């Protein structure tokens, strides 16, 4: 009976994540107006597989991916000890997306939602965060307001302020002593009543497009210079550093023999590393790190 219940949970999550992938891809294609997602279905040698969708060289999105996976099998002894639950058997289902726009005034965005079962334990994880290059404060406020409203509808379970702080803490590069972006929400090992938590995760997934696309629509036609484009490529380097060193999804994929092309889909198409680059004092580039990348209460509602 326990296995049947867990199987039903996995199936319910899987069906939602597949539908969410369709919805998000359709919305992004409409916003781009030119490029379409290419789909690759794949099988994992250890069990399960996925459906990867990648968009490239569009009007808006230079590169992006919206990936679904449902994988199962056995963890290594070492990695199994790092996760809750007994034994080594696991099943994980989820959706993960990253979008790298062409225009430096449009921020990069990341989101993922997942359910993982191991032994008799199971939990949700996920969230969404924004990484701008030339930020507009109203855009950041809109992004955070969307997630606060989602959390508010589930306040008996979820504390927005905690999820925001967890996001600020997680998307941080200790070796740079610098935030990756302006945050959003982040949660992991979220346990409790399955139906209530899935309702929260669905509410998050259903509001990703409304959190991000209004920003895209306002900024995608703004003119930009070659120097601004170079700065965007330079800042993308921080994204690479975080995803290859700290990102839990990347580490989980590599530790469980995931599909490399799907795991590394999150990396931007072009990146610029410049030795000891320094911004001009008082410039928009300097303001990114001196003001916008300092965790703050963007909604003016500190708790």
Other Cβ atoms closer than 10 A to 54 = 18
Q: Which of 110, 142, 156, 161 is catalytic?
A: 110
Q: Report the length, in residues, of the chain.
A: 303
Q: Would residue 72 show up in a list of annotated catalytic residues for this protein?
A: no
Q: What residues contact residue 296 under an 8 Å CB cut-off, 6+ apart?
A: none
Q: Helices (DSSP H) in 1-136: which residue ranges?
A: 2-32, 77-80
The first and second tokens of residue 295, run together, are 């965790």
DSSP 232-261: HHHHHHHHHHHHHHT-HHHHHHHHTT--HH
Token look-up 């992006």 returns 64
Other Cβ atoms closer than 10 A to 36 = 13
The span from the CA of 285 to the CA of 280, in Å, is 7
Q: What is the distance in angstroms between the CA of the first residue and the CA of the last residue of the chain?
A: 43
- The catalytic site residues sit at 110
């Amino acid at each position: 009976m326990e296995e049947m219940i867990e199987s039903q949970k996995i199936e319910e999550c899987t069906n939602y994540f597949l539908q969410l992938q369709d919805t998000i891809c359709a919305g992004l294609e409409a916003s781009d107006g030119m490029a379409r997602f290419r789909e690759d279905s794949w099988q994992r040698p250890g069990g399960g597989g996925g459906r990867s969708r990648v968009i490239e060289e569009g009007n808006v999105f230079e590169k992006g991916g919206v990936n679904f996976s449902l994988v199962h099998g056995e963890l290594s002894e070492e990695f199994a000890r790092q996760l809750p639950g007994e034994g080594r058997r696991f099943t994980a289902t989820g959706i993960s997306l990253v979008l790298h726009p062409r225009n430096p005034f449009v921020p990069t965005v990341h989101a993922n939602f997942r359910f993982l079962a191991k032994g008799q334990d199971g939990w949700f994880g996920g969230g969404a965060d924004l990484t701008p290059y030339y930020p507009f404060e109203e855009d950041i406020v809109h992004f955070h307001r969307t997630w606060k409203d989602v959390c508010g509808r589930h306040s008996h379970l979820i504390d927005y302020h905690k999820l925001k702080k967890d996001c600020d803490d997680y998307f941080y590069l200790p070796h740079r002593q610098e935030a990756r972006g302006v945050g959003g929400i982040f949660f992991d090992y979220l346990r409790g009543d399955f139906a209530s938590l899935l309702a929260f995760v669905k509410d998050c997934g259903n509001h990703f497009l409304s959190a991000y696309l209004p920003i895209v629509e306002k900024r995608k036609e703004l003119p930009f210079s070659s120097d601004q484009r170079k700065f965007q490529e330079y800042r993308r380097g921080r994204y690479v550093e975080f995803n290859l060193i700290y990102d839990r999804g990347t580490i989980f994929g590599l530790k469980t023999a995931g599909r490399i092309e799907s795991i590394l889909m999150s990396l931007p198409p072009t990146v610029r590393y410049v030795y000891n680059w320094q911004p001009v004092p008082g410039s928009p580039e300097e303001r990114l790190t001196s003001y916008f990348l300092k965790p703050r209460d963007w909604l003016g509602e500190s708790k």
